[in-house]
């Protein structure tokens, strides 16, 4: 537990103030939620594992030219981040059909999507985080047209780099969600990148359930959740930094 003042507590993290107003402390929790928090539980050591994974991936992406809010991992469950004004959107990139895309379109699970699909969802639990058309996005006036283009460009850039990164780890990056924030007129990648926010399939497993290395194990009551997260952490941390 941090000695700093608590500013915000979400489903997966607590955000604390620090003596520097431009720096915040993000503490990763073991709590697990699914289906817009209708399902709740806990995954042992999830906070430690997700913090380590996200810290490594943020550093990797920064080295590839993707600006983000990460400063340093300062404890097993804590990272220092730059304060940003979070844009209330989830930007989802899909390389293969899975989850809601399959349920809503009938596309077969695992269908490769070329080019990748980029989607915007309104970050609002009360409304169920609805999918937005581009016209609705502009109607809500949450981003400028230039910022919309930047979000798409950055999301595809993150996807390009992470696809190669996870391929080196023997993992297929199926899809993932990103959040972004504004800081001094610049858009930065924010929040986290972890098995909570990505669909990841183990390329060494052919079985459609055993291959799952992400929060779908919690959503679908598949068990062995901690082991899946631990395997992702092991492979991610073993991937050498550029």
pLDDT digits (tens, 9 = 90+) for 40-63: 888 999 999 999 999 999 999 999
> What's the token pair of residue 213?
């290395």
**Length of the chain measured in residues:** 242
Q: Where along the chain do its domains lie?
A: 6-82, 85-224
Which CATH number is associated with domain 6-82? 3.30.200.20
215: Cβ contacts below 8 Å, ≥ 6 apart? 32, 34, 195, 196, 225
Fold match between domain 6-82 and domain 85-224: no
Residue 221's pLDDT is 93
- Cα–Cα distance measured from residue 182 to residue 81, given in angstroms and rounded to the nearest whole number: 13
* Cβ proximity of 42 and 11 under 8 Å: no
C-alpha atoms less than 13 angstroms from C-alpha of 46 in its C-beta half-sphere? 26
Residue 33's pLDDT is 83
Mean pLDDT of 164-192: 97
Average pLDDT, the chain: 95
Give the CATH number of domain 85-224; options: 3.90.1300.10, 3.30.470.20, 3.30.70.260, 3.40.50.170.
3.30.470.20
Mean pLDDT of 92-102: 97
Residue 242 clears pLDDT 90, i.e. is over it: no
Q: List residues bridging with 89 in a β-sheet.
A: 122
Mean pLDDT of 180-186: 96
Q: Which residue has the higher pLDDT, 48 or 2?
A: 48
Residue 111 clears pLDDT 70, i.e. is over it: yes
User: What backbone phi and psi angles, to 5 degrees, belong to 240?
Assistant: -65, 145
Residue 96 clears pLDDT 90, i.e. is over it: yes
Mean pLDDT of 89-101: 98
Residue 114's pLDDT is 97
Mean pLDDT of 218-233: 96
Q: How far is CA 218 from the centre of its chain?
A: 16
């Amino acid at each position: 537990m941090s000695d700093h003042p608590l500013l915000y507590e979400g489903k997966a993290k607590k955000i604390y103030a620090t003596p520097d107003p431009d720096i915040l402390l993000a503490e990763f929790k073991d709590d697990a939620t699914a289906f817009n928090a209708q399902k709740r539980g806990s995954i042992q050591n999830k906070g430690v594992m997700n913090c380590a994974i996200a810290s490594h991936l943020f550093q990797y992406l920064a080295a590839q030219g993707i600006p983000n809010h990460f400063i340093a991992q300062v404890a097993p469950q804590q990272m220092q981040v730059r304060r940003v004004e979070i844009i209330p959107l989830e930007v989802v990139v899909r390389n293969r059909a899975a989850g809601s895309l399959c349920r809503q379109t009938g596309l077969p699970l695992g269908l490769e999507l070329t080019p990748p699909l980029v989607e915007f969802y309104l970050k609002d639990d009360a409304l169920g985080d609805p999918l937005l058309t581009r016209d609705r996005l502009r109607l809500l006036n949450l981003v400028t047209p230039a910022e919309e283009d930047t979000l798409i460009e950055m999301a595809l850039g993150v996807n390009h780099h992470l696809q190669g990164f996870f391929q080196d780890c023997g993992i297929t990056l199926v899809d993932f969600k990103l959040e972004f924030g504004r800081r001094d007129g610049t858009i930065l990648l924010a929040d986290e990148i972890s098995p909570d926010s990505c669909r990841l399939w183990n390329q060494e497993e052919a079985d459609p359930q055993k291959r799952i290395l992400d929060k779908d194990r919690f959503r679908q009551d598949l068990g062995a959740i901690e082991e899946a997260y631990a395997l992702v952490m092991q492979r991610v941390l073993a991937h050498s930094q550029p």
